[in-house]
Amino acid sequence: MRHLDQLQIKILLVEDDEDDFFLFEDLLADFQSIQFDLDWADTYEKGLQAVQRCQHDIYVFDFRLGKRTGLDLLEEVVALGFRLPIILLTGQEDRETDLAAMAAGATDYLVKGTITSALLERSIRYAINHTRTLVALQEREEQYDLVAQACNDGLWDWNVQTHEVYYSPRWAAIIGHGEQALGRSIEEWFDRIHPEDNERFRADLREHCQRETTAFECQYRIQHQDQTYRWVSSRGMAVFGPQGQVLRIAGSQTDLTHHIALYDYLTGLPSRALFLDQLQRTLKRTQRQRNYLFAILFLDCDRFKLINDSLGHAIGDRLLVEVAKRLTAALRPGDVIARLGGDEFAILLENIPELSLAEQVASRLNRELEQAFELEGHTVYISASIGIALNSDPSQQPEDLLRDADNAMYRAKALGKSRYVVFEDTMRDRVQALLKLETDLRAAITNKEFQLYYQPIVSLATQDIASLEALIRWHHPERGLIPPNDFIPIAEETGLILNIGEWVLQEACRQLWDWQQTRPDLPPLSISVNLSRKQFSQPGLGQQIQSTLSEAGIHARQLKLEITETTIMENETMASELVNQLRALGLQLQIDDFGTGYSSLSFLHSFPLDTLKIDRSFIEGLVSDSEKSEIVRTMITLAHNLGMTAIAEGVETQEQLRWLQTHHCDCVQGYFLSKPLPANQIETLLATPNGMFANQLMATPA
């Protein structure tokens, strides 16, 4: 900007008194360093017209302009949007008038009779320079605001000393508010942060305020006016005082609504959408290059849920971040890795020579992940189940390829985890069959296609039925009778097992009551019902069972619940509470598949159980395998020492039966004595005179 000393300035005086005009002109004539041209408007109207032409560098208004005032003229000029250096002349010192002039937009004011040439020159210099500075500053602010809006950023400025915060209009708009809807407090911001992100946000801010980081930066969720949460990114830098105290922090806030759709907020990796987009581009390349080979790796972290549940979600998130870092470091620069959600990752290996390279990468990734992770004082170990799918057809769709790799990953997990499996077409057929089975299973619940069969549990002492185990069968309208092993795993995975399990419990109790009412000649019976893992962990199980017993009208001692030892060992504390609740109802509890778990002996002393059922895998080869014989003998002894009944499952031969009776096993069940039968055939069996299994047992020593 040039100095006023080097300018010929043009002045407009709006004054209705000719004598005052000449006095003003004389004052200007005494200026030492400013050359000027003076124009005169002797009425309010002429003055307004001259101002609107913007031909002058400075404007001087007299307060008295006939019926109007210079203050009126000033307010009208400002209302028209002009930003001009204006000096107001008043006849006497009137503080209220002077303050009103400054509030209306006057740059300065002077009192007639006290004005000297030096004072007037100083006022003109000040008015011109001050106005030019304000105009330049406003232009820069407008430019900055335009840039900030163009880059989708909202601005914030937190004065830590006064506790006031400036939020720009764009900042407010990001969360659905108008500028006037927000106050000036920091709570307007902090109270809107998602509870799960609040501590992380404050920790990042605290680290910067303690100069542990060069800048503050955090991605988090903030509540929108519509009560939903939006992902945003805040960045800022602090200004520190001479004693190191934080004076203010200023920065920007960016709306990540679009960004989050493409990138994972936690790891920064591409999202599923971006990965599929890249996969689509790669598939188009194969249409131009017929021999172009690439591979999709679908990776799922083994044991992640256990770590996440036991150590908390914060540790789980840290683990996922570290997993992402290791995977990225182990890949080639051109490979693409994405986080699909949870603990699932997808990797695109471009332009590989053959399948073996993808297999080598999968093995390398697992070796990297099997190294210990040190997380906030915890040492954790994981591995990965990995599915590999290769491109085979240029017409394939991205989702199909990803699904193939996903199916292969599930096969790897089923084979024992910590391994990779290459996709084969038979896997797709199997998955489609399972999907069809799931659809039919949902219909089966509605159409009541299930039926209960009952397998006798025989007392070796009395040679009679001691109890019945209720076993579900599915009468499929097209496939006929489907055994439980073919559909129970699907029911477990989909959660349908809860509805099915509730029906089994109700139907078994109803059937027992029906036998009691219609066949009083039958011996007293009890029925065993299996509880699935999901049933055992659902809230209100005890109340549900009690209601079922009350509705059926049978005694609690007539119902035995079978629970696998694996189910108990998954959460011993929860299991202990539930077992005590069930025992308090008067129910009998049985441990099913005993010996197949990983900690069989450790919990038996702690749980009030009635029966130990020896798994059929130990009964097979019982007679010929000395190791199995010793294990089963030990199990029977253990059960008796703990005051429990021992039942052997899966008895198929006369030799097995003889061995079990010789070693004082209490009860047996299996096809050698009776396969599971529908209710009407069970009635016939129950009506047989005492010693109904005498023929099978006669060769067995008493």
pLDDT recorded at residue 281: 84
Residue 49 DSSP SS3: helix
572 and 489 housed in the same domain = yes
CB 673 within 8 A of CB 445: no
Whether pLDDT at 432 is above 80: no
The CATH number assigned to the domain holding 277 equals 3.30.70.270
What average pLDDT does this structure show over 171-176?
90
175 and 219 housed in the same domain = yes
CA distance 579 to 576: 5
CA distance 626 to 623: 7
Residue 63 DSSP SS3: coil
CB 120 within 8 A of CB 32: no
CA distance 580 to 589: 10
451 and 583 housed in the same domain = yes
Whether pLDDT at 314 is above 90: no
CA distance 57 to 6: 14
The full DSSP string for 507-548 is HHHHHHHHHHHH-TTSPP--EEEEPPHHHHHSTTHHHHHHHH
Task: Find where tokens 């038979």 sit.
Answer: 426
pLDDT recorded at residue 136: 74
CA distance 39 to 49: 13
Supply the pTM of this predicted model: 0.51
Q: How confident is the prediction for the chain on average, in pLDDT?
A: 85
CB 62 within 8 A of CB 37: no
Percent of the chain with pLDDT over 90: 36
Q: What confidence tens digit (pLDDT) does each residue in 222-280 have?
A: 999 888 888 888 999 999 888 888 999 999 998 887 666 677 878 888 888 889 988 98
Identify the helix (H) or strand (E) that includes residue 471. strand 465-476
Whether pLDDT at 5 is above 50: no
User: At which of 362, 396, 423 does a domain end?
Assistant: 423
> Which stretches of 44-169 are assigned E, i.e. beta strand?
58-62, 64-65, 68-69, 86-90, 108-111, 153-159, 164-167
453 and 573 housed in the same domain = yes
pLDDT recorded at residue 408: 92
What sign does the dihedral 110-114-116-119 (CA atoms) show? negative
CA distance 378 to 383: 17
Q: Does the residue 428 lie in any domain?
A: no
CB 534 within 8 A of CB 498: yes
Whether pLDDT at 553 is above 80: yes
pLDDT recorded at residue 148: 55
Tokens of 469: 């185990």
Residue 174 DSSP SS3: helix
490 and 398 housed in the same domain = no
Q: Residue 35 sits in which domain range?
A: 4-146
* Most confident stretch, 260-274, 275-289, 454-468, 514-528: 454-468
Q: Does the residue 452 lie in any domain?
A: yes
Q: Does the residue 104 lie in any domain?
A: yes
Whether pLDDT at 138 is above 80: no
545 and 440 housed in the same domain = yes
pLDDT recorded at residue 2: 44
Calculate the CA 458 to chain-centre distance: 52
pLDDT recorded at residue 268: 82
For 662: left if phi > 0, alpha if psi spans -120 to 50, otherwise beta; the answer is alpha
478 and 576 housed in the same domain = yes
Among 282-296, 363-377, 464-478, the range scoring the smallest mean pLDDT is: 282-296
pLDDT class of 357 with cuts at 50, 70, 90: very high
What average pLDDT does this structure show over 135-153?
66
Tally of domains within the chain = 4
CA distance 473 to 483: 6
pLDDT class of 19 with cuts at 50, 70, 90: confident
What sign does the dihedral 289-291-296-297 (CA atoms) show? negative
538 and 676 housed in the same domain = yes
pLDDT recorded at residue 151: 57
Helices (H) and strands (E) in the chain, counts: 26, 29
307 and 380 housed in the same domain = yes
What average pLDDT does this structure show over 463-469?
90
Q: Pick from 220, 225, 223, 247: which is nearest to 235 by CA?
A: 220
Whether pLDDT at 395 is above 80: no
User: At which of 125, 146, 167 does a domain end?
Assistant: 146
What average pLDDT does this structure show over 544-567?
89
Backbone φ, ψ for residue 306 (5° rounding): -60, -45
CB 472 within 8 A of CB 500: yes
Backbone φ, ψ for residue 297 (5° rounding): -110, 120
386 and 470 housed in the same domain = no
Strands 344-349 and 336-341: antiparallel
pLDDT recorded at residue 527: 94
The CATH number assigned to the domain holding 257 equals 3.30.450.20
Q: Rg (Cα) of the chain, in Å, rounded?
A: 43
288 and 365 housed in the same domain = yes
Strands 68-69 and 246-255: unpaired
User: At which of 261, 292, 319 does a domain end?
Assistant: 261
Instruction: Give the contacts of 378 (CB within 8 A, at least 6 positions apart).
Output: 311, 315
* b/e 667-694 (16+ beta carbons within 10 angstroms → b): bbbbebbbebbebeebbeebeeeeebbe
Among 40-54, 138-152, 445-459, 539-553, the range scoring the smallest mean pLDDT is: 138-152
The CATH number assigned to the domain holding 107 equals 3.40.50.2300
pLDDT recorded at residue 592: 85
Identify the helix (H) or strand (E) that includes residue 645. strand 645-648
pLDDT recorded at residue 115: 87
Between 145 and 458, the higher pLDDT residue: 458
546 and 606 housed in the same domain = yes
> Which stretches of 266-341 are assigned E, i.e. beta strand?
295-302, 336-341
Among 16-25, 41-50, 665-674, 693-702, the range scoring the smallest mean pLDDT is: 693-702
pLDDT recorded at residue 602: 58
- Could you report how far apart the first and last alpha carbons of the chain are, in Å? 119
What average pLDDT does this structure show over 13-42?
85
Q: Does the residue 655 lie in any domain?
A: yes
pLDDT class of 142 with cuts at 50, 70, 90: low
CB-side exposure of 435: number of CA atoms within 13 Å? 7
Between 145 and 669, the higher pLDDT residue: 669
pLDDT recorded at residue 193: 93
What sign does the dihedral 584-586-587-591 (CA atoms) show? positive
